[in-house]
Amino acid sequence: MSAAETVTSSAAVDLQVASSDTRGKHRILAELKRLEQEMRFLEEEFEDIEKTEKVSMACQELVVRIAAKPDPLLPETVGPANPLWDRWFEGPQESQGCKCWIL
């Protein structure tokens, strides 16, 4: 190898390192920007959560009040109103199983 070839090859290596270094810096800056955006989002979310403590207590009280009263539009039944309807929600009664195509 001559001196000119050595200088040329070392210059090419330096150029490759510089260009890959620029891409590396760009990737690092892009990742840093993404992390900063995520940090801002999490800070905003944290502020919202701090404000919702009173709201969650009100929601708990509302759930307790609603659960205490039965729904006036739904009839109250202790068991099934018609036991024949239960067969539609149970599995097949025969040991051979269901012969229908759907199940």
Give CA–CA dist 82/90, Å, rounded.
14
Q: Determine contact, residues 5/13, Cβ cutoff 8 Å.
A: no
Among the listed residues 30, 11, 7, the one whose alpha carbon sits nearest the alpha carbon of residue 19: 11
Q: Determine contact, residues 98/92, Cβ cutoff 8 Å.
A: yes
99: three-class secondary structure by DSSP = coil
What does the pLDDT read at residue 74?
A: 73
Model confidence pTM above 0.75 = no
Among the listed residues 35, 31, 54, 53, the one whose alpha carbon sits nearest the alpha carbon of residue 43: 35
Read off the pLDDT of each residue in 79-103 and give the average, rounded to a whole number: 66
Q: Determine contact, residues 80/86, Cβ cutoff 8 Å.
A: yes
Flag whether pLDDT at 93 surpasses 90: no
Reported as a pLDDT band with limits 50, 70 and 90, residue 13 is low
Among the listed residues 82, 79, 100, the one whose alpha carbon sits nearest the alpha carbon of residue 91: 100
